[in-house]
Structure 1
Amino acid sequence: MNNSTLPTDEGAYPGRWWHTLDDGRVQCDLCPRDCRLHEGQRGACFVRMREGDTMVLTTYGRSSGFCIDPIEKKPLNQFYPGSSVLSFGTAGCNLACKFCQNWDISKSRDMDRLMDQASPAAIANAAAQAGCRSVAFTYNDPVIFAEYAMDVADACHALGVQTVAVTAGYIHEQPRREFFAKMDAANVDLKAFTDDFYFKLTGSHLQPVLDTLVYLKHETRVWFEITTLLIPGHNDSDTEIIAMSQWIRKELGPDVPLHFSAFHPDHKMPDVPATPPSTLVRARDIAIKEGLRYVYTGNVRHEAGDTTWCPGCQQPLIVRDWYQIRHYGLTAQGQCPHCGADAAGRFDERAGNFGRRRIPVAIQGLAV
């Protein structure tokens, strides 16, 4: 395995987590795809490539764009609510979701679209100067550009800026440990609760994602929330939602927030209807009945599903209108003012007031 952190002469960035096979191919050890590459070949993610006798990351320092978003858009509802987050991604993905809602970025094979170049220090400085509480690695999965994300995280932490990974959690054990050691929060896509769905619609498997969730809960201090995109006829049955909710309650505990979000026809599933709001409400009701304390609905306007409720007395603690916070009732200690119950999450004494804005940002900085 090569752990070098210096750029190659050609400008590509040396990748980590790989080894050479007996037949001369190089195997990528980042994720369970275990891509085995000849000279010049790229992995399934498209951005990790064999160059000579090494693995390189071709998108280090290159982004598809930067924006300042509300943290609730990641979605993270219980990680410094109302704060702003500097968001960016690169290109490529290690999953092949037929329903991808960001397919123009995640499935891009056009490196020329990565026009924004920025060093880790430039990104951290931009976030700090803009008053962002955190930087999010999002739009495509940061697992595939882990070296870049980890270096950005180090630069952010040096300036007191926190880091967020928006990820499908499809990653091997060793890089998982190293990657999440640099993260303060994560939103993990739990795309369904059957391996059949994962295999047929994403080209991957369920168990590694469950392993990531268990690892985050029991072996890290990363604050994480879960998102499930409900697709009509594919992963929205009562049976599957009950099984998933029961697993979360048993393996992760009742305080991990769960977001059910709405699918819209896109990519390779244009003929599947959009998720009706009633499906999200039904799923939320099931999850709450199964013992989960914080369950949200996404991509629809639903006050009950936007609100953070007290786990003790069921009074509204944080009332939202989409991404706008209308009421923030937590005490300075993150407790309910009515019954004193602790709310799970990371909170400031007051909520941020960034609102629902989305602000594109230009960042100037060297690629490496």
Structure 2
Amino acid sequence: MKGKNVSRRDFLRTMGVSSCLAGFPVTEMGSIINTLAPTGIPTLMDAGNKPLSLHEAMYYQKLGGQSIQCEICPRKCKVAKQERGYCGVKANYEGKYYTLVHSRACSVHIDPIEKKPLYHFIPRSSAFSMATAGCNMMCKFCQNWQISQVRPEQLKNVSLTPQQIIDVCKKRHVESIAFTYSEPVIFYEYMYDTAKLGSQQGVKSVMISNGYILKKPLQDLAQYLTAVKVDFKAYTEKFYQEICAGHLQPVLETLQTLKAINIWFELVYLMIPTLNDDLNNIQEMCNWIYKNLGPDVPLHFSRFYPQYQLVNLPPTPLSTLTKARQIAMDQGINYVYVGNVPRHGGENTYCPNCQQLLIERNGYFVLQNNINVRDKKGFCRFCSITIPGVWV
């Protein structure tokens, strides 16, 4: 169900509460910033006849003949003059690479942080969630394909600057900004500027990503992020190539970089029947996680529901999720969850030392929280051991 039509004034007043639902385009937008293109470069318009932005991209090098090579994600697109990269939101004009979506959001909403999902990040808090069009993968099971698999001119967008986002967060007492829904790596410059400004003004930022990003841009961005959630698609190259149009190794490298940076991050593994639910492979993956990332990275096994190009497959059996969770716990991973199954015991956080219930959840709702916070660290209320995460 799409959001109701709103005027620009109403949208800017409520900013995300009634404008749209996650993953669907904003329905009626106005233009706040009319970015004029340099001479000789056309001003591109979106589906609402509003101008897209023209903001020079970060991380690219110039090649001969006015071609460029993008250096944001592992695709390293070589883009000829007047052409675009794989993501569809960056274009080469006259030998310069531009992002067309800086300060142009197509989907916004204020969500509970548990929806991301981030379970060890300020329980019961809210996140200003936002996206632009585009993605650097093509997952056949994408739940937000209406915005991720299109170009920005095919949607109606709203002009929304980093400062406006932060102002809304402060006004509505929203603790964090979540770059989510589509793939934030492709609107890197917009995310970077917003997260940097937010860090200077006391608003946290989290990236909800497929992890398909190169090391240098990730390291530079991470200094302004508080947490990252990575959708770990599978532990096989075959799945990444055939189902996501990507590769496994760059994602593994991203996870190791996040570990080295020492930023808080959590993993979500969507279990898709017949495609990535082999329990032997799950065992191998959990072994890799334990050895390379440690026992305290939260791992969410999420239930698949038929959507987009995989409507022929059934929902994930609950027994498969339960077995995968047990495999991970037997491997020594301390915080393993079952997602997309409200009222399942695997939604809850338990102390790995005394086994007491710490955080009880029902879907996106936190029913009780038994974590004590001192000096910004979390502790089990019952046995006082440290519970890793971001608690304030």
Question: Which TM-score applies when normalising by structure 1?
Answer: 0.90
Partner of 2:371: 330
Work out the CA distance in 2 between the residues paired with 1:40 and 1:284.
Answer: 49
Partner of 1:189: 231
- Report whether the alignment pairs 1:151 with 2:193: yes
Aligned letter for 1:344?
P
Flag the 1:87–1:251 CA change in 2: closer, same or farther, 3 A: same
Work out the CA distance in 1 between the residues paired with 2:278 and 2:108.
Answer: 37
Residues 67-100 of structure 1 deviation map (CA, whole Å, 9 limit, x = unaligned): 1100010000001111011100001000111111
What is the 5 A alignment of 1:202-213?
202-213=244-255
Work out the CA distance in 1 between the residues paired with 2:391 and 2:237.
Answer: 36
**Contact persistence 1:307–1:316 (CA under 8 A):** yes
Partner of 1:42: 84
What is the 5 A alignment of 1:131-146?
131-146=173-188
Partner of 2:358: 317
CA positional deviation for 1:276? 2.1
- What is the CA RMSD across the aligned residues, in angstroms? 1.5
- Report whether the alignment pairs 1:340 with 2:381: no
**Contact persistence 1:184–1:221 (CA under 8 A):** no
**Secondary structure of the structure 2 residue equivalent to 1:246:** helix
Work out the CA distance in 2 between the residues paired with 1:308 and 1:77.
Answer: 8
Partner of 1:265: 306
Which blocks of at least 5 consecutive residues in structure 2 are unaligned? 1-34, 44-52
- Report whether the alignment pairs 1:306 with 2:347: yes
**Contact persistence 1:162–1:183 (CA under 8 A):** yes
CA positional deviation for 1:34? 1.4
Partner of 1:278: 319
CA positional deviation for 1:112? 4.6
CA positional deviation for 1:272? 1.6
What is the 5 A alignment of 1:66-215?
66-215=108-257
Question: Which TM-score applies when normalising by structure 2?
Answer: 0.84
Aligned letter for 1:129?
K
Aligned letter for 1:176?
L
**Secondary structure of the structure 1 residue equivalent to 2:367:** strand
Flag the 1:7–1:121 CA change in 2: closer, same or farther, 3 A: farther
**Contact persistence 2:57–2:98 (CA under 8 A):** yes
Aligned match of 1:292 in 301, 324, 333? 333
CA positional deviation for 1:23? 5.5
CA positional deviation for 1:133? 0.8
CA positional deviation for 1:24? 4.5
- Report whether the alignment pairs 1:60 with 2:102: yes
Percent identity for Structure 1 against Structure 2: 40
Bigger relative contact order, structure 1 or 2, given CA contacts below 8 A and separation 6+? 1
Structure 1 runs (4+) deviating above 4 angstroms are none
CA positional deviation for 1:253? 0.4
Partner of 1:352: none
Residues 283-342 of structure 1 deviation map (CA, whole Å, 9 limit, x = unaligned): 111111111110111111243211110011111111111111111111223211221211
CA positional deviation for 1:232? 0.3
**Contact persistence 1:65–1:114 (CA under 8 A):** no
Aligned letter for 2:351?
C
Work out the CA distance in 1 between the residues paired with 2:338 and 2:173.
Answer: 28
Which blocks of at least 5 consecutive residues in structure 1 are unaligned? 1-5, 349-368
Aligned letter for 2:233?
K
Partner of 2:293: 252
Residues 149-169 of structure 1 deviation map (CA, whole Å, 9 limit, x = unaligned): 011112212221100000011
**Secondary structure of the structure 1 residue equivalent to 2:388:** coil
